[in-house]
Structure formats: C-alpha cells, structure tokens
Amino acid sequence: MYAALTRTTSILSKQGKSNDCNNKTFDLWLLLDAPSGGSYVVEKIHRTILKFTNAKMVANTPSIVEQLISSEYDIIGDAQEPVELDNLRPFIEHLVAISSITNFVGPEFTKDEDLVETYKYLARDIAIELGDGNMLLEAFPSLSRLRMWYLGKYGNAVRKHRTNLIRLIAPIVDERLAAAENGKEDKASISGDFIQCIIDETKLTSGDPEKYMLVAKWLLAVVVVGNQSTRDNVTVILYRILQHPEVIDELLQEQRQVLEKHRGADVNDNDDLTALFTGKVIKNLVKLDSVCRETMRLRSFYLDYPHAYIGKSPFTFTNGYTIQPGHEVLLNLWGNHQDASVQRDGLGDYHQFKPFRFVGLDRPSTKIGEDFLIFGLGTHACPGRWFAMHQAKIIISMLLRRYQITPQDAIVFHEGNRNHLPSGKVTIQKKQ
C-alpha cells in the first residue's frame, strides 16, 4: 500500500522514532560496500559533515572561487566569442565537482582527472548498473538488497571510483596518522580538513587494515548524496533565472549593494573575485537565496521519498491516518509546496514563480519544514544543505557577474515525474 500524505510533519513526530521508516528497496551503504553500523553509522556521518561545514564553509569560499575561475576554461575556453551549449547541465556538473573537491579534499586536487570524474559521474555510473525500476525487485525487497550488496562489493562502478579515491587519499592518511602517533601533528594546518574530520570521528590508527577503505567510503557517500542533487538544483535555478531575465539585473544590483556594505562605496568591479566574493558576502545575498528556494519549491517532484514503516505496531499520524508495519509511505512534495495552508509567505499564486517571495521572511533556502521538503525533514534531513546552497550561490553569482548567458530557444521545464531537469540551448560569452 502506498499512502500519499499531504501533511507530512507528523511522519517524524514525537509519537515515533526517526529511524522507524526507511526505504526497503534502496540502501546506499550496501551500494558502497559499507554495511550500516560500526564506522558507517548515519549519525556519525551527519555529525562530521556538520562539524566540517561549520568550521570551513565560509573560510573556504575564496579558494572555491579561485578554482571555479580556472576550471571554467575546461568547458567553455576563454569565451571571448559566444560559446554554444546544448544544455547547461554538463557545464554546471563540472563546476559543482570542482567546488566540492576544493572544499572537501583540497584545491590542489582539482587537476586530478580521475577524482574529477568520480565527483561528476559516480552517481550516474551506479544508476546505470542499477538500471531502471524492476517490478520483481520491487515485489521482493530482499532480492533488491542482495543485488545492491553484490554491486557494492563486486560492481565495476563503485570499484573503479573507490580505487581512484584510495590512490589519492592513501598517502594523506598515512602522513596524518604517522604525524599524530609521533607527536608531530600540525593541528593548525589540518584544522577543519574533512579527511581529518573522518580520521578523528572514526578514531583511525595506522594499524587499522581498513584505514584507506573507510575514508574512501565516507567520501564516496558524501559524493553520492551531495553532488548530483546540487548539480541538479543549480541547473534548475540558472534555467529559471534565464526564463525570467528581468531577475538578473536585480541580482547584480544586490551583489553591488552587498559588496559596498562589506568593502565600501568605492569597491572596484574589476577587483579579484577571490577578494570580492567572501563567504560573508555570499551569505548576505538574500534575494538570490529567495530565488533558490522559490525555484526548488516549484521543482517537479510529486510523490517521492518512499519510506517503509518498520515499527512493530500500527502507527497513527496526527491527522488520524494509520499505517501498518511493512506499509510504505510516499510524501506529497508537490501538494505541500502548492498548498496555501502550508506555505507561510502569504503571497499566494503558488503555481507561479515569484523570485523574491521569501525576502524579509525567516525562510532561507536551507530552512526545512512541511512547507519546504526538498532537503527532507527531522533528524535525517540533509546535513550538507548549508554547503550545497552556499556552493550554488557562489556558482550562480560568478556566472551572472562574468558572463552573458542567452537562451537560443525556448527553455522547457519538464513536468513528468521521471525528468526533473529543464532543458534549452544557450550561448555563453565573457562580459567585456
């Protein structure tokens, strides 16, 4: 049985535990050959991501900006003349990969082609091996899980990317562990480093035979759950802005106002972007943040986030609806995002894109609730959403500031449940 629930906050209410529901036919940890438990506890990874984000997100911004500037050339060259792109997605995919590598692994690794490939294509390669939905596997979840276990342990996709990652991180892990055990650890230089966060959280030692594998699997988990969704969201946001070009001038004006606030009225537009686009500047772009939240609110997600109730007794929601053990629940994202009684801005017209709907309200793009379900709810809500949105706003701000991006045909926002991404050919040219 599938229950499409319009009001969803009670799914994680005090009547039940947050882990009483899961997805019977998909298990990320099996796919990564990292069985849940021990070093692969979701709460541990959540905690480590939050610790890292709090420590380094703002501080890493100039380095991310620097690497993005150099990596744009990989796809569009110097763009002194218009460059035609059939779709923005591959370009955005590259930029998201570069910014994620810079933040989580280090800017010096953005030139490693194998690592860039992992950040861009890991989720895609796993999806290709998994294939489309299979009715037999849906009917027998144990078969589905057995298949995921096999693909995680022996499949080509995970093995290839895991091997690439271990080659890269093994010398780093060895150096860190040896320095710590010899009392020569440089706390200042590695403070907030994500690999170090993993080492600290899992209490790795040099004698641990799984030390490389453990760090690699943690990093792969972050790539799988973060990069594809960030790439998709940035792609959708940029296409929505191009569909409403009048928004661009307002966003550029906001950039100017925020830069003047932080650097004074004589700020020079030709200054080094790594000096202009600091973490604090990006966080102050509230109009852009509203555009991001509004765009994601309108994304074509309908019935999604399937969870199976694994409790031992019937569970009754606050709206009176009861589900039985083993039943599955789908969340009605579209219903909540269109429902005037759920939304909190009071502007109405929830089928329409109103870019600045959330300006002046306490509804930033990272704030979850029954009115905004993109990042989930409760204790298992996406812990990386702060960096994901920070990353999105850096990329979009840089592109709007430095390039003229012009649609060459109609931008199409697909409404089907299987295709969530818009499409449309564009040209991109460096502003003079």
Query: Residue range 289-311: average pLDDT?
Result: 88
Question: What would the 3-class secondary structure string for 367-380 be?
Answer: CCECCECCCCCHHH
Identify the band that residue 137 occupies on the pLDDT scale cut at 50, 70 and 90.
confident
Write b or e for each residue in 266-283: b if 16 or more Cβ atoms lie within 10 A of its Cβ, otherwise e: eeeeeeebbebbbbebbb
Q: Give the pLDDT confidence of 354-411 residue by residue, as tens digits.
A: 999 999 999 999 999 999 999 988 877 888 999 999 999 999 999 999 999 999 999 9
Helix 385-402 and helix 286-297: axis angle, to 10°? 110
The answer to which of 21-35, 55-69, 250-264 has the lowest mean pLDDT is: 21-35
The residue type of 197 is C
- Top-confidence residue, 319 or 277: 277
Q: Give the pLDDT confidence of 177-203 residue by residue, as tens digits.
A: 998 888 876 665 555 579 999 999 899
Task: Kindly give the residue spans of alpha helices, DSSP state H, lying in 264-346.
Answer: 273-276, 279-283, 286-297, 333-338
Question: How far apart are the C-alpha atoms of 411 and 421, rounded to whole Å?
Answer: 11
CB-facing half-sphere around the CA of 201: CA atoms within 13 A: 25
Please enumerate in sequence order all residues whose Cβ is within 8 A of that of 46, keeping only pairs 6 or more positions apart, or say none: 379, 380, 383
CATH of 1-300+332-430, one of 1.10.10.60, 1.10.630.10, 3.40.190.10, 3.30.1340.10: 1.10.630.10
Query: Which tokens belong to 154?
Result: 């022996």
Q: What is the reported pTM?
A: 0.89
Dihedral of CA atoms 378, 381, 386, 391 in degrees, nearest 10, equals -160
Question: How far apart are the C-alpha atoms of 428 and 76, rounded to whole Å?
Answer: 8
Write b or e for each residue in 228-260: b if 16 or more Cβ atoms lie within 10 A of its Cβ, otherwise e: bbbbbbbbbbbbbbbbeeebeeebeebbeebbe
Question: How far apart are the C-alpha atoms of 365 and 374, rounded to whole Å?
Answer: 10
- Does residue 197 have a known ligand-binding role? no
Query: Which tokens belong to 355?
Result: 């870019």
Instruction: Determine the pLDDT at residue 51.
Output: 86
Instruction: Determine the pLDDT at residue 401.
Output: 96
Question: How far apart are the C-alpha atoms of 398 and 391, rounded to whole Å?
Answer: 11
Instruction: Determine the pLDDT at residue 114.
Output: 95
Question: How far apart are the C-alpha atoms of 48 and 26, rounded to whole Å?
Answer: 23
Residue 3 has pLDDT above 60, yes or no: no
Please enumerate in sequence order all residues whose Cβ is within 8 A of that of 163, keeping only pairs 6 or more positions apart, or say none: none
Residue 258 has pLDDT above 90, yes or no: yes
- 3-state DSSP call for residue 294? helix
Identify the band that residue 23 occupies on the pLDDT scale cut at 50, 70 and 90.
low
Nearest to 300, CA basis, from 244, 233, 230: 233
Query: Residue range 260-275: average pLDDT?
Result: 87
Residue 261 has pLDDT above 90, yes or no: yes
Mean pLDDT for the chain overall: 87
pLDDT more than 70, % of the chain? 90
Nearest to 206, CA basis, from 172, 168, 161: 172
Question: How far apart are the C-alpha atoms of 370 and 385, rounded to whole Å?
Answer: 16
Task: Kindly give the residue spans of alpha helices, DSSP state H, lying in 140-285.
Answer: 141-154, 156-181, 187-190, 194-202, 211-243, 246-263, 273-276, 279-283
- 41-45-46 Cα angle (round to 5): 110
Query: Residue range 225-234: average pLDDT?
Result: 91
Residue 135 has pLDDT above 60, yes or no: yes
Residue 12 has pLDDT above 50, yes or no: no
Query: Residue range 274-289: average pLDDT?
Result: 96
Q: Give the pLDDT confidence of 41-62 residue by residue, as tens digits.
A: 778 888 888 888 888 888 999 9
Question: How far apart are the C-alpha atoms of 286 and 356, rounded to whole Å?
Answer: 9
Instruction: Determine the pLDDT at residue 161.
Output: 95
Please enumerate in sequence order all residues whose Cβ is within 8 A of that of 408, keeping only pairs 6 or more positions apart, or say none: 84, 424, 425, 426, 427
In terms of average pLDDT, the best of 11-20, 198-207, 235-244, 408-417 is 235-244
Instruction: Determine the pLDDT at residue 422.
Output: 93
% helix, strand, coil for the chain, step of 5: 55, 10, 35
Query: Which tokens belong to 117?
Result: 């490939």
Residue 174 has pLDDT above 90, yes or no: yes
